[in-house]
Structure 1
Amino acid sequence: MLDRQLLKEVLDLALAAGGDFADIFVENKAVTSISCEDGRIERVITGVECGAGVRVLSGDATSYAFTNDLSRDSLLEVARIASHAAQGDRLEACFDLRRQETKNFFTVIKRPDQVATAQKVEVVQAADRAARQVDREKIKQVQVGYGDVVQQVVMANSEGDYVADERIRTRLIVQAVAMEQGVLQTGYEALGNVKGFELVEGDVAEALARTAAERAVKMLSAQPAPAGRMPVVMAGEAGGTMVHEACGHGLEADLVQKGLSVYAGKVGQKVAATGVTVVDDATLDVHYGSYAYDDEAVPAEKVVLIKDGVLQDFLYDRLTARQEKRRSNGHGRRESYQYKPIPRMANTYIAPGKEDPEKIIREAKQGLLVKKMGGGQVNTTTGDFVFDVAEGYLIVDGQVGPLVRGATLTGNGPEVLQQVEMVGADLGFTIGTCGKDGQGVPVSDAQPTIFIKQLVVGGTASGQANGEIRRL
């Protein structure tokens, strides 16, 4: 997108007043967003976002400036602005062209920017029809959202790194609302990967929509969830919402260094039960949070955060890594050129164990089986969380019992990890857009089926529901 000599000129000017490090992030991003509600296409948005951001690091200070004008004059002006925070001796940018890198190990079969918008609209409409056909009487509302991104980036820095990369992601979300006798229930499903339009071809969209609608309908007949402390089995298909929210953010290095993480100062200590291993791996094939390089030109890598219960590492960007005199492990991410990079998760998961998921349910004997997580909130400083259960069942005498609604899970992330007693051999992923410091980035998270000794379950009924729920 930009001549390399111009990139070097920008970096040299950014360091003209001193500083320890300078980099530039150049982006050209084509996006498509289509939404359907009440059987009508409500919005079709296509567009291109283009710009560049220049950053200077000087000791603990960071200066960042950006522009949507990629002309030479504008880029040099942004570099001048960023250089104002620099201190110390003037540095010359290394920028050794031999250190350029361009790699991408993700395969895209059908580029979304080469697919007609009309085809994408057809997919959305097909999903809407499929959801409504599940039950024309009870399904009252369906929302379908399709989106794709083709992002081309060029990154260069004063240490000589040069990376040109392309990131392509496609996603589809369906939400269905069912109503019967004044009771409303919602079903939600999302699909997204580092793939092209092939992700939603065939009957994929319709199948996703039917799953969302069927969940909404069956939740209408669910009985009220019991409340109290009880064993909880988190099914692999529930995805890793809990590990992402209640654990993952506390493992990002900036929060650790600011003293806003319960894991600060605990490397080498036991922070989870034996058998619990937590990993963040941006190199996983086609997953929604995957990338070849982070947004600071650092190659993606697999990072073992907790191994067999012992805290091993945190997620670093260049700035937090410099503060500890270590290298970044490839987790500096940003929403766009308008933002400076910060440590972020990519694909975060609890590694599979060896137990049969059905055996875990039998061993639990009594409690709550969570098959689908809903929304929630977490305090990253303390690890305290509250999550909704979108689909849950009572476990009665080691068997899956009646469907319940209105359940919530309340607990503390680090404490929950300490109470994991069994880890299944399966692994289920969910996707999302993770928000932090006003920035959203695509992520995925996962977990196997796990047995948690006890959690506080909020509900609307007493513990008696086709079997006594054991209180611990």
Structure 2
Amino acid sequence: MTQTADTPTTASVTAEPLVDLDVVDATLRAALDAGGEWAELFAEDRSSTGVLFDEGRVEEMNSGRDRGVGIRVTAGDITGYAHTSDLTPEGLADAARTAAAVATRSPAGGTVDMASFRGDGVAEPRVEVLPAAIGTEHKVALLKAADEAARSTHEAITQVTARYGDSRRRILVANTNGICAADDQVRTLFSVSCVASGDGGLQTGRETVGYTVGWELFDGCDPAELAERAAQRAVTKLAARPAPSGEVPVVIARGGGGVLFHEACGHGLEADLVRKGASVFRDRVGSAVAAEGVTLVDDGTMGPEWGALRIDDEGHMTQRNELISDGVLTDYMWDWLRSRDDGRAPSGNGRRQSYTHLPMVRMTNTFVTNGDIDPDDIISDTPQGVYVAQLGGGQVNTATGDFVFGMTEAYLIEDGKITEPLREGNLIGNGPQVLLDIDALGNDFAMGHPGTCGKDGQGVPVGDGQPTLRVRALTVGGTAA
């Protein structure tokens, strides 16, 4: 338990919209009066804290707050966008007229009918304790405990870096269709990275935990235990042998390879990339694109996972979207603009990095669902291969699905048993082909580490996961002869 005597047990709530609703109404009317056919106001108030503990001391400590409004206006197929940190009625009206001027050169003039708002623009944070209510000394104490625990694990540990971060993001979205919705998103994260030194050189181990929760994260997470696991990963890898080269069966541990399906498959199911022809899944709805039994889901309601949201950044409720069902492609992910053009409902996947950015189609929590095989049976049924405990970053071509991912922790499979650790190498393949080549799905589903997804210069928090699974053949780019 990490609460102190003066720690509040409930989150404080600011029960008022970021922008007065009368001002919101006037701003949207200004956009329509300037020629817009549809207008949206997105208000955001974001605050964050971060602490970096390196080599036994605090190296960085930062906090910040940013507040502003973005105005989006459409006229036909043209979109205009303007943003401002001036939240006065005059500042917002100027931004609305600027966005409308980009969208059209033919001011409508006169009075334009506008739907009444549905909602009050207020949301409560769904956390027990706001991290902002916790003193910095308590956050530093957790980092120090992690540092000491990692160093005491093994004499080979030569470097420890621990990070703490929290953020709170309040948003208000209103548009001329009558939407008026709000969300209050709080996220807390803790990570430890260790370096072990030995005859084989330097090896690293990392552990990260992060959820859409407040300070109560540490009621179920002991930073010292997290640090010990990171240190042990690094020490284990000191005895690693070179990874094999060539095509082999690959077993991916529960939660350890969700990033592969996020990057190599998920992006190809975003409707904007599909419409641009930048997706291998274009025109494939109703077709078999994965092995029988494989189901791929994107679910923004999956609290308290890292990508969980009550609403997306266009004011639509998030939902569970089954993208691939039992091997068959059933749908794409949609934002408002793409769904409007296709005459269908948005799926709650319109997201943006901040009020200075336009929304686009983005994932939330993307994962492969459970199968029915005991994970131990998957290993024992694999005579030779590679067991990937954790994938790292990589590169993906969304138009083809070709990818290269780093294996940050992997082991050899020999005679149906996990044996020696392997040095870091690459996993090379094609996302759509991986979906087809999954020949065993475990019953031990887990989400992986929290992540940030980059697309067109914007980053948003996302989650991914999967049960233990086996791909019948993937290329391992190792250094073994």
Specify the TM-score bucket, using the shorter chain as the normaliser.
over 0.9
TM-score normalized with structure 2 length: 0.92
**Is the contact between residue 351 and residue 360 of structure 2 (CA under 8 Å) also seen in structure 1?**
yes
Q: Which residue of 1 aligns with 2:276?
A: 258
Residue 234 and residue 203 in structure 1: after superposition, are their counterparts in 2 closer, same or farther (change >3 A)? Answer: closer
CA distance in 2, matches of 1:11, 1:455: 53
Q: Which residue of 2 aligns with 1:160?
A: 178
1:215 to partner: Cα distance: 0.4
CA distance in 1, matches of 2:182, 2:28: 17
Alignment of 1:229 onto 2:247: yes
* Partner AA of 1:447 in structure 2: Q
**Is the contact between residue 401 and residue 432 of structure 2 (CA under 8 Å) also seen in structure 1?**
yes
**Is the contact between residue 231 and residue 455 of structure 1 (CA under 8 Å) also seen in structure 2?**
yes
Q: Which residue of 2 aligns with 1:81?
A: 98
Alignment of 1:17 onto 2:34: yes
Render the CA deviation track for 1:365-385: whole Å, top value 9, x for unaligned. Answer: 211111111221111111111
**Is the contact between residue 244 and residue 478 of structure 2 (CA under 8 Å) also seen in structure 1?**
yes
The counterpart of 1:376, out of the listed 390, 394, 412, is 394
The counterpart of 1:121, out of the listed 132, 140, 145, is 140
CA distance in 1, matches of 2:34, 2:103: 6
Q: Which residue of 1 aligns with 2:458?
A: 439
Q: Which residue of 2 aligns with 1:59?
A: 76
* Partner AA of 1:403 in structure 2: P
**RMSD of equivalent CA atoms:** 1.6
Residue 202 and residue 446 in structure 1: after superposition, are their counterparts in 2 closer, same or farther (change >3 A)? Answer: closer
1:247 to partner: Cα distance: 0.6
Q: Which residue of 2 aligns with 1:30?
A: 47
* Partner AA of 1:111 in structure 2: L
1:423 to partner: Cα distance: 0.8
Q: How many residues align?
A: 460
**Is the contact between residue 272 and residue 418 of structure 1 (CA under 8 Å) also seen in structure 2?**
yes
CA distance in 1, matches of 2:403, 2:118: 48
Secondary structure at the aligned position of 2:29 is classed as helix
Q: Which residue of 1 aligns with 2:356?
A: 338
How do residues 237-316 of structure 1 correspond to structure 2 at under 5 angstroms? 237-316=255-334
**Is the contact between residue 406 and residue 460 of structure 1 (CA under 8 Å) also seen in structure 2?**
no
1:412 to partner: Cα distance: 0.3
Render the CA deviation track for 1:134-177: whole Å, top value 9, x for unaligned. Answer: 22x32222221111111111111010111122111111121111
Residue 101 and residue 50 in structure 1: after superposition, are their counterparts in 2 closer, same or farther (change >3 A)? Answer: closer
CA distance in 2, matches of 1:201, 1:379: 40
**Is the contact between residue 39 and residue 128 of structure 1 (CA under 8 Å) also seen in structure 2?**
yes
CA distance in 1, matches of 2:41, 2:147: 43
CA distance in 1, matches of 2:121, 2:100: 26
Secondary structure at the aligned position of 2:103 is classed as coil
Secondary structure at the aligned position of 1:400 is classed as strand
CA distance in 1, matches of 2:210, 2:258: 15
Structure 2 residues without counterparts, runs of 5 or longer? 1-17
Alignment of 1:69 onto 2:86: yes
CA distance in 1, matches of 2:465, 2:331: 19
Secondary structure at the aligned position of 1:293 is classed as coil
Structure 1 residues without counterparts, runs of 5 or longer? 463-472
Render the CA deviation track for 1:417-465: whole Å, top value 9, x for unaligned. Answer: 1100111111121211111111111111001111111000111113xxx
Q: Which residue of 1 aligns with 2:25?
A: 8
**Is the contact between residue 93 and residue 160 of structure 1 (CA under 8 Å) also seen in structure 2?**
no
The counterpart of 1:180, out of the listed 184, 189, 198, is 198
CA distance in 2, matches of 1:313, 1:341: 20
CA distance in 2, matches of 1:359, 1:26: 51
The counterpart of 2:415, out of the listed 374, 382, 397, is 397
Render the CA deviation track for 1:245-275: whole Å, top value 9, x for unaligned. Answer: 1111111111111111111111111111111
**Is the contact between residue 108 and residue 196 of structure 1 (CA under 8 Å) also seen in structure 2?**
yes
Flag as ranges the 4+ runs of structure 1 deviating above 6 A: none
Q: What is the percentage of aligned positions where both structures have the same residue? A: 45
CA distance in 2, matches of 1:319, 1:97: 20
Render the CA deviation track for 1:207-237: whole Å, top value 9, x for unaligned. Answer: 1111111101110111111111110111114
Residue 149 and residue 95 in structure 1: after superposition, are their counterparts in 2 closer, same or farther (change >3 A)? Answer: farther
TM-score normalized with structure 1 length: 0.94
CA distance in 2, matches of 1:19, 1:354: 53
**Is the contact between residue 231 and residue 453 of structure 1 (CA under 8 Å) also seen in structure 2?**
yes
How do residues 393-472 of structure 1 correspond to structure 2 at under 5 angstroms? 393-430=411-448, 431-462=450-481
Alignment of 1:47 onto 2:51: no
Residue 443 and residue 98 in structure 1: after superposition, are their counterparts in 2 closer, same or farther (change >3 A)? Answer: closer
Q: Which residue of 2 aligns with 1:94?
A: 114
